[in-house]
Structure 1
Amino acid sequence: MKLLQIKEYLESGKNLLYYKKDVYKCFKQLKDHYLCVYSNEPLPIKGILVRALNYISRYNKTKLNRLTISELTELLIKEVGNKHLIILFNNFDRLTEKALVTYRYLNSFENIHFICSFSVVKTFNPEVYSFSKTFKLVNIEEYNAEYSTDEINITYVVYPILSIYCFFIYLKTSFSGNIASLLIGGAWFAFLIFRTLMYTGGRS
């Protein structure tokens, strides 16, 4: 994504999420325009807060390490002031519920945004998934193209099986008419079932 487009999204108040991309590239693009803090991992949260404060205000790391996560968070908000801070990290899917408390709190401020990436969607727990809904998935086409291959769509295999099954039910329950009309009627009945399933399945 080009710098201009990233800046437009950020200025409209959106967090950005990438699928299988290293957000360090975004960090290099944005660091001259915003306060940016990059980490390859979202944890430990305390380390990221210490790094952010050390970068923004040049606080001594030894003193910062003595503070609690809550104290570091409040100090970071105070030091950022009205400036625009962007926190970037990869492996969004590794977030823990404990870290999410801090990240959600930071996200409640209009001038603090996130640019993250993930690679393993199936490991999202409900809390992480909920937080991800505050993000815009940038390369959604790549995600859809790859993730859809992991899911085998058996719907159209099931339809003919169900139709054939209904055909035999029809044969079994029909007692009148000759064999020809019985077979034609059964085939027509199975076709109607198949067409109905195709129609309703396509609309879901």
Structure 2
Amino acid sequence: MKLLQIRSDISSGQNLMFYDKNVYECYRRLRNDFICVFYHDPLPIKLRLVDATKVITGQTKTFLNRLAVPELTQLLVEKLQSKTLIILFNNFERLTDRSIQVYKQLNSQPNIHFICSFYFDRTFNPEVYSFFKTFKLVNKDDYELKNRNEIDISYVVYAGISIYCFLIYLKTGFSLASATLVIGAAWFALIIFRTLIYAGGRL
């Protein structure tokens, strides 16, 4: 995504999400135009608030560490005033229920925006997913391509194992030479295939 488009989306109040990308590059390119804070990881939430509030207020970490999370949040918002703050972090999928409430509270301010990245989405709980839905997925094609490839490979492997089991079943019972054997082998292969799909989390 081009820097001009990122600036335009941020100016219009849009949160941005990248799949499998380090958003430090966005931080490096935006920090001269906006107040920006970057974290590789969004947790622990109090330390992240201390870092952000220090950038806004200039207070020492020693002073800020004495404050509770609600006090840090209030101080950050009050001191930011009308200036725009962009919070950037990787590993969005690591957010917890407690941390998501704080980030949502910050995001409710019209001048605080987020640029984040995620690497896995299967562990998103409802709270995290509801916040995730407020983001524009920038590289959606990359995400869909990666996940489509993973699904296709899994099914090919499952089908291969099932066919192999089908042939073994036929070989071991070939002397019977009956329709029952063929039907039994087909059912056996189908059961193997469905079991593998279930074990792989595809159903």
Task: Give the TM-score taking structure 2 as reference length.
Answer: 0.74
Aligned to 1:76: 76
Q: What is the correspondence of 1:136-155 to structure 2 with a 5 Å cutoff?
A: 136-152=136-152
Q: Residue 26 of structure 1 corresponds to which residue in structure 2? A: 26
> Structure 1 residues 51-60 or 132-141, which shifts more?
51-60
Q: What corresponds to 2:17 in structure 1? A: 17
The Cα shift of 1:130 comes to 0.9
Please say which structure displays the higher CA radius of gyration: 1
Task: Return the alpha-carbon distance in structure 2 between the equivalents of residues 65 and 88 of structure 1.
Answer: 21
User: Sequence identity of aligned pairs in percent?
Assistant: 51
Deviation for aligned residue 1:149: 2.0
Per-residue CA distance 1:136-186 (angstroms, 9 max, x = gap): 00000000000112324999xxxxxxxxxxxxxxxxxxxxxxxxxxxxxxx
Measure how far apart 1:48 and its partner are: 1.1
Identify the residue that residue 134 of structure 2 maps to in structure 1. 134
Determine the C-alpha separation between the residues in 2 that align with 1:129 and 1:150: 22
Letter in 1 for 2:4: L
Do structure 1's residue 125 and structure 2's residue 125 form an aligned pair? yes
What are the residue-to-residue correspondences of 1:1-204 with 2, within 5 Å? 1-152=1-152
| 3-state DSSP of counterpart to 1:17 | strand
SS at match of 2:122: helix
Between the aligned partners of 1:142 and 1:152, the Cα distance in structure 2 is 16
TM-score under structure 1 length normalisation: 0.73
Aligned residue identity for 1:145: L
Residues 43, 154 of structure 1: alpha-carbon distance in 2 compared, 3 angstrom cutoff = closer
Letter in 1 for 2:90: N
Give the whole-Å Cα distance in 1 for the aligned partners of 2:36 and 2:147: 30
SS at match of 1:121: coil
Root-mean-square deviation (CA, aligned residues, Å) is 1.5
Gaps of 5+ in 1: 156-204
Residue by residue, what CA displacement relative to the aligned partner does 1:10-65 show, whole Å, maximum 9, x if unpaired?
11111000000000000001000000000000101111111111112210110100
Report how many residues are paired: 155
Structure 2 unpaired stretches of 5+: 156-203
